[in-house]
Amino acid sequence: MNMNFKSWLVGTTMLVMGTTGAFAEVVFNRGNSADPESLDPHKTSTVYEAHILRDLFLGLTTEDAKAEVIPGAAESWTVSGDGKVYTFKLRAGATWSDGSPVTAQDFVFSWQRVVDPATAAEYAYMLAPVVNAEDVTAGKKKPAELGVKAVDDSTFEVTLNAPTPYFLEMLTHQATYPVNKANVEKFGADFIKPGNLVSNGAYTLAEFVPNDHVKAVKNPKFYDAANVKIDVVNFVPTEDRSTAMKRFEAGELDSNDDIPTEQLADLKAKFGDQVRLGPYLGTYYYVFKTDKAPWDNPKLRHAISEAIDRDYLAEKVWQNTMIPSYSFVPPGITGYETRTTEYAEMSQIDREDAAKKVLTELGYSPEKPLKMEIRYNTSENHKNTAVAIQEQLKPLGVEVTLLNTDTKTHYGHLEQHGDMDVARAGWIADYKDPENFLALCKTGTGNNYAVYSNAEFDGLMAEAAASADPAARMKKLSDAEAVGVARDLCVLPLLYYGFHTVVSNKLKGWEDNVMDRHPTRFLSKE
Amino acid sequence: MLRYVFRRFLTAIPTLFVIVTIAFFLMRVAPGGPFNQEKGLNPVIKANLERVFHLDEPLWRQYLYYLQNLLQGDFGPSYNLPDFTVAELFKAGLPVSLQLGAMALTLALIIGSGLGIWAALRQNQLTDYVVVGVATAGSTIPTFVIAPLFQLFFALTLHWFPVGGWGDGAFINKVGPVLTLMLPQLAIVARLMRGSMIESLHAHHIRTARAMGLSDYSVVIRHALRGALLPIVSYAGPAAAALMTGSVIVETIFQIPGIGRYFVDGALNRDYTLVMGTVVLIAIFTVTFNLIVDILYAVIDPRVRYD
């Protein structure tokens, strides 16, 4: 290859990467594990969509670089004495990207839209604490009956069923973001297309080419635009993690929210502190089918749990990108005391002995072994985890078989409460509150795959929900976990998730946090 | 000839109908549905979603809906990418896959045929062994090995090309994917051409042509090549249909926004309409290219006539 051709190549590459140009724009190429399913904030559910929507929209509250709640579209708010009525004062002078003011009516319209059954919003339950929300979603009441009100153009009032201390935290979720009423009415379902979409966040949507990129450009009308340092964000879907690492190495990506964990040691050696690891608010767990013998016996569930060597799983299977867990609610929620199973501190050998004793007591022997089938959804690491557990239970005489199905089949089976012994599941917090996890063990919850039902647990959860005092509420939730998880193992916690991201040294202001959320408006690039 | 083409198009309609019907019902046999996911949905919300997409209605009625829409050229909405209709996804992705596939196939045909002829003319000599050896290796190394090697060597070490991405269709972004798609095809074409050329060179009419004192060029290119092309043409038809509808591996590794991944992703996500759309598209391509092959046969082989 001669030099001319080579320099032409370089020139073209630079053009393609958008690093040249008269304005010397600051472009942030941000790897994002998958494309958004939708850019309609009310129809989204995944973490990948949240990364994009957090830049495009601004909820009543929002998050700073450390994912702590700060005022967003609402400048301030007051809460009534009984904790049930929130009155939000919208930011004076804040506008949509088309220049029209953000009004309380926009919020009324948006929230009614979220709970309207015709919208079929996956995350309609984010508004469940609001009066009548659940009845509207179920089609029993009209959207207009939702407990929200525009007192005047800049005052938005919400009435809740019960004091909900995590309500402000919930408002950082994309399902509660406002959409522009005039915009939605003008374009209908097409309002989310580039060119049509009007948003109120730090960025506006410029392009969405599926499987290629979502391009967002700085919104000059954003109230804090003066402090937004990155001009263009390209969200690049990085399905193939190895390619994403190579693109990062070549400078085509500035960050990616996932890394090939099996190469962790090499990556750390190569990229040093650009590889970021830390706890993430989520739990990787198994569920027993608790309404079926022999799994209806908590003693047996504990014996299996005790015998599982979580340190091995975290270290060998997950290369320390996960953390051994003995509680459902991960640490990191202010004011909450996690309740672990009592063998959390015991040595693995003692635990195995204890487990063996229980199994013998329950009448299992080499002649009459306990048989257990683990169901898991397709993924190399889910498989390795299940195989490791199979090996760990072998010395106890438990005959473990494995059943792998694709993700849709797996969760289809779990949601229909099909027959099974043990199955894998995972939960990533939607907002920073223990209730978000523990609700999965309440009687009749859709995600209660274990079909666990316990009056004492449900009672404690109800008491917590009715409690107006945040500290007392946390105590109740903690007690609920002690009953439902530590005593009864409504879920079998295995590992806490960890985030594993790669962030270029050129990118400044990226603060590691348990929610792994990083709004672009707080970042800058050299 | 025109009548023949017209008749072939008419027979394609029942074929497509059968394919659509089988695919529709096979898809529904798979357990789970588009709205089963890691974060399970509240049953009320799931019911709302299913109502919006008519999934709560009896299967036969959903089938009739689908056929009715399809006849009007409407592939329906994608369940898992609700911002786009299936037609919009194809409109964005198909040109990408078409370009890459067409470039890869054209290069494979030209270079592969050239190598095959060269080897055939030097049968059992070093050139021949080298070409056959390389061709065999080329068709056995899978694309998921070639693609990362290309990225490592040409992108990360030499910095000649980007690692991945489409770059709005910039030439340098296409080099890797096209080469990766081309190599296995090139190897197959070279081997096919070598074999059929050797056979063709031994035919009676070639011996006659040589006896008449025609030049080597005239014998090989004018007379032998014509007969030798037939197997290549039969191969190129289905190969074109497969290449132009995209490759999931190449598109995933190079992060290319084509349509190859929709078949696999759609099936895994139970995105029924997306899978159905892909099936119809692949069927149309296959039927069309088979027809083109048959017409080319008549052009190349004087013994074939469609009257």
Q: Which chain B residues contact residue A50 at CB under 8 A?
A: none
Q: What residues contact residue A87 under an 8 Å CB cut-off, 6+ apart?
A: A77, A78, A79, A80, A151, A155, A156, A157, A158
Q: Count of A–B CB contacts within 8 Å?
A: 180
In tens, the pLDDT along B145-164 reads: 999 999 999 999 999 999 99
Q: What residues contact residue A356 under an 8 Å CB cut-off, 6+ apart?
A: A396
pLDDT at B186: 93
Q: Which residue in B82, B89, B162 is closest to A43 by CB distance?
A: B82
For residue A293, is it left (φ>0), alpha (ψ between -120 and 50) or beta?
A: beta
In tens, the pLDDT along B59-82 reads: 888 899 888 888 888 888 888 788
In tens, the pLDDT along A405-447 reads: 888 788 888 888 889 999 999 998 988 899 999 999 999 887 8
Closest-CA residue of chain B to A410: B32
- Residue contact B32–A409, C-beta within 8 A: yes
Inter-helix orientation angle A455-466/A470-481, to 10°: 170
Q: Say yes or no to pLDDT of A21 above 90.
A: no
Q: Does B299 touch chain A (CB under 8 A)?
A: no
In tens, the pLDDT along A185-225 reads: 999 989 999 999 999 999 999 999 988 999 999 999 999 99
- Measured distance CA(B111)–CA(B105) in Å, rounded: 10
Q: Which of A212, A376, A404 to mutate to test the interface with B (most CBs of B within 10 A)?
A: A212
In tens, the pLDDT along B254-306 reads: 999 999 989 888 888 888 889 999 999 999 999 899 989 988 888 888 777 77
**In B, residues 41-80, which contact A (CB 8 Å cutoff)?**
41-46, 48-49, 51-52, 80
- Tokens linked to A154: 């800049």
Stated as kind and residue range, the H or E segment containing A205 is strand A203-209
Comparing CA positions, the residue from A245, A305, A268, A257 lying closest to residue A498 is: A257
When pLDDT is cut at 50, 70 and 90, the band that residue B307 belongs to is low
Q: Say yes or no to pLDDT of A17 above 50.
A: no
In tens, the pLDDT along A476-490 reads: 999 999 999 999 999
Q: Which chain B residues contact residue A240 at CB under 8 A?
A: 252-253, 255
pLDDT at B38: 65
- Measured distance CA(B128)–CA(B194) in Å, rounded: 9
In tens, the pLDDT along A347-360 reads: 999 999 999 999 99
- Residue contact B163–A6, C-beta within 8 A: no
When pLDDT is cut at 50, 70 and 90, the band that residue A7 belongs to is very low
pLDDT at A178: 97
- Residue contact B83–A192, C-beta within 8 A: yes
Mean pLDDT along residues A316-343: 91
In tens, the pLDDT along B85-118 reads: 999 999 999 999 999 999 999 999 999 999 999 9
Q: Say yes or no to pLDDT of A6 above 60.
A: no
Distance in Å, alpha carbon of A409 to nearest chain B alpha carbon? 4
Comparing CA positions, the residue from B265, B278, B39 lying closest to residue A211 is: B265
- Measured distance CA(A462)–CA(A484) in Å, rounded: 14
- Measured distance CA(A364)–CA(A344) in Å, rounded: 24
3-state DSSP: chain A helix, strand, coil percent, rounded to 5? Answer: 40, 20, 40
Q: Are B135 and B184 in contact (CB under 8 A)?
A: no
When pLDDT is cut at 50, 70 and 90, the band that residue A23 belongs to is low
- Residue contact B164–A246, C-beta within 8 A: yes
Strand partners of residue A423 = A287, A375
In tens, the pLDDT along A253-299 reads: 999 998 888 888 899 999 999 999 999 999 999 999 999 989 999 99
- Measured distance CA(B183)–CA(B150) in Å, rounded: 12
pLDDT at B78: 86
Closest-CA residue of chain B to A427: B39
Closest-CA residue of chain B to A117: B48
Closest-CA residue of chain B to A282: B39
In tens, the pLDDT along A415-426 reads: 888 899 999 999
When pLDDT is cut at 50, 70 and 90, the band that residue A9 belongs to is very low
Q: Are B16 and B284 in contact (CB under 8 A)?
A: yes
Q: Does B270 touch chain A (CB under 8 A)?
A: yes
